């Protein structure tokens, strides 16, 4: 199918041609006609599926063909959970609407509000905003929703996770009831379904991947170790597996800074993005990473939200996320637009509950490795369903400086996707291959028997009493130990 077949107008088709988009992605095929027809939409689409164009293109078309804005008015409003996503979605609107006579702007907290007010004065066709700042603009009388025709909630699950529910209630009160509403969410929890029920009228339901299934093109595996050895293990794997650029997720801002320092002390280029950094500093770090001036970008979940980095081969979960859904968002940073990606997690004993929550949500057991010399003193308990003994297979060694993009073992058995049958694997003694380095223990993946559910660590946070202001990191209080690496290779 082509974009022409979706009845998009010429200026949009020209733009898409210029961008090299040959055909619509599955979410676009379903969303574009529905939005053009004025329907409400409820879409389960992860980042990387092309969902932004799925709503931006038909919105731009409708705005072009129908009506004009007025002073302080906004005709289409896109609500997003974080500043980074706001910038990214705004950029998409700018790029897709390049040949159209429409005005768009972005508004989020943490920066001067005056230019945002000034942009609104003449009125806008599209505003991309985070909830907190939008309420401020509304409280100051800078914005009118009188002409609002379309509301988009992008990454709605994340908005609820960040405690924006109250803000959404306030905003929804202020919006006209007669409107088109589009709700996009990576996952569909019960809370999201409740929100959707109150918001959407007879929505077209779109599901492009099975709900709560991690991006299929991403190979996932984990290495168990002790918490204090994580920095050292990370450095070791960087060298041993010849990792190139990687986006590395940590739990806390402090943890991000500690890891950057550690990596820099080992001669690596690393930068951090987290909630304590100013918006320009975050964007600068991201740009440097995109230009490949920086090998390792260390990020907290909130700061990384909405990042779009082309062809990122590797995501490393230095810490597991405290909210299981974040795992899906994190690994969605790689394997984008059908490219192959890899997601590696370093897991210590006190993260086992988070691991279980992730495995329950994604309905898989993440293939597990141990690296010789880094075995955990505090064993990470098995997460395989009770009564089944996980298989341990021998792996041949990855060679130092071997494959880029972190193949766990050149010529070794790769951790494969979960086999369908869910048969009980047998335990086999793992022995490092003679004379070679070994990522020793491989526990064969299998289907998880438990039903999916939402499982939060106690410190994962929920709606807070105070209003979260646009994208601060909400990690717990513990970060990586910051233990000094004892040697360990450095990536070339």
Number of neighbours of residue 39 by Cβ within 10 angstroms: 17
Q: Is 24 in the site for ligand AMP (CB under 6 A)?
A: yes
**Exposed, middle or buried by CB within 10 Å (0-12, 13-18, 19+), for 396?**
middle
Cβ closest to ligand AMP, residue 2 vs residue 424: 2
* Helix, strand, coil abundance in the chain, percent, nearest 5: 35, 15, 50
How far apart are the C-alpha atoms of 128 and 132, rounded to whole Å? 12
How far apart are the C-alpha atoms of 341 and 94, rounded to whole Å? 28
Q: Is 48 in the site for ligand AMP (CB under 6 A)?
A: yes
Q: Which one of residues 25, 82, 225, 300 is an interface residue with ligand AMP (CB under 6 A)?
A: 25
Q: Is 308 in the site for ligand AMP (CB under 6 A)?
A: yes
Q: Dihedral of CA 74/79/84/88: which sign?
A: negative
> Of 5-13, 18-26, 31-39, 231-239, which part binds ligand AMP (CB under 6 A)?
18-26
Q: Is 363 in the site for ligand AMP (CB under 6 A)?
A: no
Cβ closest to ligand AMP, residue 49 vs residue 187: 49
> How many residues at the interface with ligand AMP, by CB under 6 A?
14
DSSP code for 6: G
Cβ closest to ligand AMP, residue 240 vs residue 329: 329
Q: Which one of residues 31, 50, 161, 219 is an interface residue with ligand AMP (CB under 6 A)?
A: 50
Instruction: Evaluate whether 475 touches 255 at the Cβ level (below 8 Å).
Output: yes
Cβ closest to ligand AMP, residue 53 vs residue 151: 53
Cβ closest to ligand AMP, residue 53 vs residue 285: 53
Cα within 13 Å of Cα(44), Cβ side: 16
Q: Is 81 in the site for ligand AMP (CB under 6 A)?
A: no
Q: Is 97 in the site for ligand AMP (CB under 6 A)?
A: no
How far apart are the C-alpha atoms of 40 and 402, rounded to whole Å? 50
> Of 20-28, 203-211, 233-241, 269-277, which part binds ligand AMP (CB under 6 A)?
20-28
Cβ closest to ligand AMP, residue 25 vs residue 438: 25
Q: Measure the N-to-C terminal CA separation of the chain; round to a whole number of Å.
A: 44
> Of 22-30, 279-287, 390-398, 447-455, which part binds ligand AMP (CB under 6 A)?
22-30
Q: How far is CA 395 from CA 98, 408, 411, 413, 422, in A?
A: 52, 9, 9, 6, 22
Closest distance of CB 55 from ligand AMP, Å: 9
> Of 19-27, 207-215, 312-320, 450-458, which part binds ligand AMP (CB under 6 A)?
19-27
Write the DSSP assignment of 12-58 as a string of letters: HHHHHHHHT--S--HHHHHHHHHHHTT--EEEE--TTSSHHHHHHHH
Q: Which one of residues 41, 43, 53, 200 is an interface residue with ligand AMP (CB under 6 A)?
A: 53
Q: Is 47 in the site for ligand AMP (CB under 6 A)?
A: yes
Instruction: Evaluate whether 290 touches 248 at the Cβ level (below 8 Å).
Output: no
How far apart are the C-alpha atoms of 169 and 238, rounded to whole Å? 46
Q: Is 149 in the site for ligand AMP (CB under 6 A)?
A: no
Instruction: Please give the backbone phi and psi of residue 458, each rounded to the nearest 5 degrees, phi first.
Output: -60, -30
Q: How far is CA 350 from CA 116, 237, 258, 457, in A?
A: 44, 21, 20, 11
Cβ closest to ligand AMP, residue 124 vs residue 186: 186
Q: Which one of residues 146, 337, 389, 416 is an interface residue with ligand AMP (CB under 6 A)?
A: 337
Cβ closest to ligand AMP, residue 49 vs residue 189: 49
Q: Is 104 in the site for ligand AMP (CB under 6 A)?
A: no
Cα within 13 Å of Cα(293), Cβ side: 7
> Of 23-31, 127-135, 165-173, 383-391, which part binds ligand AMP (CB under 6 A)?
23-31
Instruction: Evaluate whether 156 touches 199 at the Cβ level (below 8 Å).
Output: no
Q: Which of 329, 379, 384, 334 is nearest to 359 (CA)?
A: 384
Q: Is 49 in the site for ligand AMP (CB under 6 A)?
A: yes
Closest distance of CB 119 from ligand AMP, Å: 24
Q: Is 336 in the site for ligand AMP (CB under 6 A)?
A: yes
Closest distance of CB 114 from ligand AMP, Å: 30
Cβ closest to ligand AMP, residue 49 vs residue 180: 49
Q: Is 51 in the site for ligand AMP (CB under 6 A)?
A: yes
The CA dihedral of 9, 11, 17, 19, to the nearest 10 degrees, is -120
Rule CB under 6 A: which residues touch ligand AMP?
21, 24-25, 28, 47-53, 308, 336-337
């Amino acid at each position: 199918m082509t974009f022409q077949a979706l009845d998009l107008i010429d200026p949009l088709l020209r733009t898409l041609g210029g961008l090299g988009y040959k055909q619509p992605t599955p979410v676009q095929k379903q969303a574009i006609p529905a939005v053009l027809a004025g329907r409400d939409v409820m879409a389960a689409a992860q980042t990387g599926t092309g969902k932004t164009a799925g709503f931006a293109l038909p919105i731009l078309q409708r705005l072009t063909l129908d009506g004009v804005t007025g002073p302080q008015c906004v005709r289409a409003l896109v609500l997003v959970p974080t500043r980074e996503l706001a910038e990214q979605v705004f950029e998409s609107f700018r790029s897709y609407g390049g040949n159209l006579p429409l005005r768009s702007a972005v508004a989020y907290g943490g920066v001067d509000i005056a230019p945002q007010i000034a942009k609104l004065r003449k009125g806008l066709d599209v505003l991309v905003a985070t909830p907190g700042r939008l309420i401020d603009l509304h409280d100051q009388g800078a914005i009118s929703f009188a002409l609002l025709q379309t509301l988009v909630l992008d990454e709605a699950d994340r908005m609820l996770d960040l405690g924006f529910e109250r803000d959404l209630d306030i905003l929804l009160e202020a919006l006209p009831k007669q409107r088109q509403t589009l709700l996009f969410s990576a996952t569909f929890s019960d809370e999201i379904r409740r929100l959707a029920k109150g918001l959407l009228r007879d929505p077209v339901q779109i599901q492009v991947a099975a709900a709560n299934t991690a991006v299929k093109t991403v190979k996932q595996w984990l290495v168990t170790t002790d918490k204090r050895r994580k920095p050292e293990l990370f450095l070791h794997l960087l060298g041993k597996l010849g990792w190139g650029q990687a986006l590395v997720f940590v739990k806390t801002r402090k943890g991000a800074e500690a890891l950057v320092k550690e990596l820099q002390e080992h001669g690596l280029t690393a930068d951090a993005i987290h909630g304590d950094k100013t918006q320009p500093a975050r964007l600068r770090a991201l740009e440097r990473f995109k230009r490949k001036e920086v090998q390792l970008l260390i990020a907290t979940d909130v700061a990384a939200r909405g990042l779009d980095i082309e062809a990122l081969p590797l995501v490393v979960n230095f810490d597991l996320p405290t909210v299981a859904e974040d795992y899906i968002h994190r690994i969605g940073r790689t394997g984008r637009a059908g490219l192959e990606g890899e997601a590696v997690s370093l897991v210590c004993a006190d993260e086992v509950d988070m691991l279980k929550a992730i495995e329950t949500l994604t309905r898989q057991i993440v293939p597990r490795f141990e690296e010789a010399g880094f075995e955990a003193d505090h064993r990470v308990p098995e997460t395989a369903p009770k009564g089944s003994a996980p298989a341990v297979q021998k792996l041949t060694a990855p060679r130092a400086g071997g494959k880029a993009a972190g193949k766990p073992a050149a010529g070794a058995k790769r951790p494969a996707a979960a086999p369908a049958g869910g048969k009980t694997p047998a335990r086999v003694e793992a022995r490092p291959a003679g004379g070679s380095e070994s990522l020793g223990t491989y526990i064969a993946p299998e289907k998880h028997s438990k039903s999916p559910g939402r499982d939060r660590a106690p410190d994962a946070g929920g709606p807070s009493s105070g209003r979260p202001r646009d994208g601060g990191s909400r990690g717990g209080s513990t970060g990586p130990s910051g233990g000094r690496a004892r040697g360990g290779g450095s990536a070339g």
